[in-house]
Structure 1
Amino acid sequence: MVHTAKAEQPLLFTPLRIGNVTLKNRICISPMCQYSCEDGFVTDWHLVHLGARAIGGAALVMMEATAVEERGRISQFCPGIWKDEHMQPMKRICQFIKTQNCIPAIQLAHSGRKGSTFPPYISRDALPVDQGGWDDIIGPSPIAFGAGNDRVPKEASLEDIAAVRRAFVAATKRAIEAGFQVIELHFAHGYLVHSFLSPYSNKRTDEYGGTFEGRTRLAVELVRDVKSVLPEDFPLFVRISCTDYLPEGEGWDLEQSVELSKILKQLGVHLVDCSSGGNVDKAKNYFAYNNVDQISMAETIQRKADIPTGAASGGDKPNQGDKKKKESIVDLGKYLDKPIRVKFQGGREATGVLKGYDTLLNIVIDSTTEYLRDADDPCKVTDDSRQLGLVVCRGTTIIAICPVDGMEMIANPFIQNE
C-alpha cells in the first residue's frame, strides 16, 4: 500500500492556547459596533450577528465595545454592561456561541470624550440632550474631540476616575457571569483610556498626567483591578492604538506602545491587540490609508515586548505567517479588494473579487461583488458565493476575513491572490 504524505496543516488552522482556553484555530472575529441596542440591552440582532460568525468556523467571536458606564457609550444604541439586567440576553448569546465550539469574548469599553454621538449612519456629531444624548461625558482634560463632536468633556475628577475603575471591575464580574471566556479592555481609538495615554489629549498636571508613568497610570490601574477579580489564567486582551499619527513628541506613538506593552505583560495580559489612530480628528487614520502598517506595529511590539499580539487590520499574503513566530492570533475581520482563488479539498475551486470595507466605526459588510464561479462551469455560481469566509496572514500576525454566514470552515482551503 502506498501512503501519501499528509500536507502540513497551515498555522492558521492550528490550535492556540491562550490562558485557560484553547482556540481551535487562529481565526477570530473582532468587535464590530452594531448600533442596535436599547438602554444598553443586546437583542436578537446580536444573537444572529455573533452566532452566524460562530457557525462560520471562527475560534473566537468578540462582542462589540460594551460600555461599563451609561455615560461610557458611544451612542445611545450601543450595548452596556453597567447593570445586572444586561446579563440575561448576553447569556443566551454566549450559550449559543459555545454550542458551535467557539469561544465568546467581550470588549469592555468607556467612550470618554467621544461619547454621546449620533450613530455614524446619521452623522459624527454630538447628540443633543433633547434627542437622547448626555452631557456628563468625561476626559482627561476639557478638550473636545472635534470632527463634529464638539461637546467639551468635563475633566475627570479623582472620584470620576475611581468610579470608572469600579465600573470596569463590576463589568468584568458580570461578563464572567454572563458566560464570556475572554475579556478585552478597549484602550484604543481615542476613547477614555487612550485619551489619558496621549499627551495630545491629556494636559493634566496631577498623578494621571504629564509623564509617561502618569499618563499610563489609569491603564495600569484598570488592568490590575480587572486581574484582581478574574479567575486564574483567564484570558485578558488589551486593544491599544499604537500611534496617534502626530509628529514626534506631540502624541502617543509606537515607542510608548512598546513600553506600555512590556508593563501589560508583567501585569499578566495575554495579548496586545494592535490598532492605530482615532484620538486626533485631523490626523492620518487607519481607515483613510492602507492599513497594513498595523501589521508591522504588531510585529514590533511582539518582538520588543515579547508578548503575543494581534493586528486590527491588514494582510495580503496567505501562509506568510507560517514562517514566523507562532504566538500570534488572527485579529479580526477585515477585507481584501483583490482577485482571489480559493481551492478546497476535493479539487473544488472558486475565483472572484471579494469586496468589503470597515467603516469609521468597525461596521463590517462581508459580501462578494463578483459571484464566485464553479471551476468546471463558469456560468454556474458556486454554493460558496453567498459570502465566502476567507483567511489570510502576514508576518507574525495572522489576519482573517470574516467567515461566511452559514458556511462552516471545514474544507481547509488554500487561498492565494491571482
Structure 2
Amino acid sequence: MNQEAENTKLFAPLSLRGVVLPNRVLISPMSQYSAVDGVVQDWHGYHVAGMARGYPGSVMLEVAAVTRDGRGTPGDLGIWSDEQIAGLAELARIIEAHGVVPAIQIGHAGRKASMQRPWEGGRPLALDSSDEAWQAVGASALPIQDGWPAPRQLAQRELAGLVDSFRAAAARAVQAGYRFVEVHAAHGYLLHSFLSPISNQREDLYGGSLENRMRFPLEVVAAVRAALPDEVPLSVRISAVDGVEHGWQLADSIVFARELKALGVDLVDCSSGGIQGSATAGKGPQAVKRGPGFQVPFAHAVRQEAGIATIAVGLIVEPAQAEAILRQEQADLIAIGREALQNPNWPLHARQALGADRDYSAWPAQYGWWLQRRPKVAWEEGR
C-alpha cells in the first residue's frame, strides 16, 4: 500500500480475526434472483467479477437460503445442499482472484418467502395457482401486510432443525472458500420476525419479552459461530429500528448487539426497516427519513453503546462521505450497494478522489496502463 493510501481511513486495511481486508469498502449482498433451484448460474459470475474488479476490501455474496423454503423468490441462491457448493466455490474463486476477500450472507426469508422476483411484481406467489409457490413460515401467523397471505407459525419443535440448517450452511460456506460470513437478521426475514414485537406474538419461550424474542436468533448465531473456524469473522445484519409504532427500537438493537458480541460476533451490519412490506425504513411518524448516510447514526450508536465494530450502509455514495464516517469513528466498514451497481469501479474512483491513487497504479494493469496514457495522449492531440 502506498503512503497516500495509508493516509486515508477508507483504504487502510482492516484485520478481522485471521482475515485482513485490504481496505474498508464492502460490496453489499445484493440479490440477483437468477439462481435455478438455488444453484449458481453464469450471471452470478459476471456480477461478482464486475464487483471484485473495482478492488473493494470484500465482496459479500447475496443471501443464500439455508433451506429450500427459506428462499425469498424462486431465483434466490441456496446453501442448503452439498450440490450447491461447487457453484458457490467458483464465485469465491473469482472474487479472491482479484485480491478481494470473498464473503457470503446466509439467511431464511421467513414470512417473506415464496415471492415473485421484484421485476415480476414482488407479490406473494399464489399457492393455488403457481407450481413454484411454497408455504412461508414465521414467528407468528401474521401477514406482512393486509391482504397478503399469513405464514404458518413455526412450532417450537421445528426451531432446532432450523438452527441445524444455519449451522450446516455456515460449514458449507467455509467449504466453498468464503472467508467472511454474515447472518441475515434484518428486513423482516425470519430472524428479524422473531426479534420484532410487530411480527412475534408467540406465547412460548420464543415470544413476549425481549429476552425471549432474542432467543432463537441468538441460538442461530451461536450455532453459526461454532461451525466457523476461529479465523473466520462473523457479522450479523440487523434492522436497527423497525421504523413503526411499537416496533423494534434502537435500544433493543444495542442490547442485541451486546449479546452478539458475547457470542463471538465481530461486526454488526446496521440497516433498518422491512418488518412491514418491502425492505423500507418503516411507515408513519416513526419512519426513518431517507437521505445521504441515513443509517449511519445507527451504526454509530451500536458501535459506541455495545462496544462492537459496525458496518455502515445506506446512501453512502461519495468518497469523502465514506472517509468522514470512518474518521469520525461512526463505523469500521463501509458497505456500498446500488452505487456499486451504477459504478462497479467505485472503490478505484474513490481512491483517486481521496488522493490515494494518482497514477492508476491500483487499477488492473490491463486498464491502468491505458488510463495512465490518457492525459498524455489528450495533450499531444491538443497541441
- TM-score, normalised on structure 2? 0.84
Code of the aligned partner of 1:256: D
State the SS of the aligned residue for 2:226.
helix
State the SS of the aligned residue for 1:22.
strand
- Greater helix content: 2
Please show how residues 37-48 of structure 1 align to structure 2 within 5 Å: 37-48=35-46
Shift of 1:59: 1.3
Matched, 1:105 2:109: no
* Structure 1 residues 131 and 288: CA distance shift in structure 2, 3 A: farther
Residues 139, 154 of structure 1: 8 Å contact kept: yes
Alignment match, 1:77? 75
Alignment match, 1:320? 324
State the SS of the aligned residue for 2:120.
coil
Could you report, residue by residue, the CA deviation over 1:34-74 in whole angstroms, capped at 9, with x for unpaired residues?
A: 01111000111111101211111111001101100000000
Shift of 1:93: 1.3
Residues 105, 180 of structure 1: 8 Å contact kept: yes
Code of the aligned partner of 1:366: Q
Residues 389, 407 of structure 1: 8 Å contact kept: no
Alignment match, 2:255? 259
Could you report, residue by residue, the CA deviation over 1:263-285 in whole angstroms, capped at 9, with x for unpaired residues?
A: 11111100000000000237269
Alignment match, 2:12? 14
Shift of 1:390: 4.3
State the SS of the aligned residue for 1:238.
strand
Shift of 1:227: 1.3
Residues 291, 314 of structure 1: 8 Å contact kept: yes
Alignment match, 2:269? 273
Alignment match, 2:131? 132
State the SS of the aligned residue for 1:95.
helix
Please show how residues 119-268 of structure 1 align to structure 2 within 5 Å: 119-129=117-127, 130-146=129-145, 150-247=148-245, 250-268=246-264
State the SS of the aligned residue for 2:219.
helix
List 4+ stretches of structure 1 deviating above 6 A: 285-288, 403-408
Rounded to whole Å, the distance in 1 between the matches of 2:341 and 2:287 is 17
State the SS of the aligned residue for 2:62.
strand
Matched, 1:293 2:294: yes
Please show how residues 372-391 of structure 1 align to structure 2 within 5 Å: 390-391=349-350
Rounded to whole Å, the distance in 1 between the matches of 2:272 and 2:341 is 21
* Structure 1 residues 388 and 222: CA distance shift in structure 2, 3 A: closer
Moved more, 310-319 or 16-25: 310-319
Code of the aligned partner of 1:92: E
Alignment match, 2:34? 36
State the SS of the aligned residue for 1:331.
strand
Report how many residues are paired. 347
Alignment match, 2:354? none
Residues 55, 407 of structure 1: 8 Å contact kept: no
Rounded to whole Å, the distance in 1 between the matches of 2:311 and 2:32 is 22
Rounded to whole Å, the distance in 2 between the matches of 1:7 and 1:81 is 37
Moved more, 200-209 or 222-231: 222-231
- Greater strand content: 1
Residues 124, 147 of structure 1: 8 Å contact kept: no
Matched, 1:308 2:306: no
* Structure 1 residues 157 and 122: CA distance shift in structure 2, 3 A: same
Rounded to whole Å, the distance in 1 between the matches of 2:109 and 2:293 is 26
* Structure 1 residues 142 and 96: CA distance shift in structure 2, 3 A: same
Residues 36, 45 of structure 1: 8 Å contact kept: yes
* Structure 1 residues 75 and 14: CA distance shift in structure 2, 3 A: same
* Structure 1 residues 179 and 309: CA distance shift in structure 2, 3 A: same
Code of the aligned partner of 2:276: V
Shift of 1:7: 8.2
Shift of 1:14: 0.7
Code of the aligned partner of 2:283: A
Shift of 1:125: 1.2
Shift of 1:325: 2.9
Rounded to whole Å, the distance in 1 between the matches of 2:367 and 2:211 is 47
| Percentage of identical aligned residues | 35
Residues 70, 108 of structure 2: 8 Å contact kept: yes
Rounded to whole Å, the distance in 2 between the matches of 1:404 and 1:123 is 39
Code of the aligned partner of 2:190: L
Rounded to whole Å, the distance in 2 between the matches of 1:57 and 1:286 is 35
Residues 80, 165 of structure 2: 8 Å contact kept: yes
Shift of 1:287: 9.3
State the SS of the aligned residue for 1:131.
coil
* Structure 1 residues 19 and 161: CA distance shift in structure 2, 3 A: same
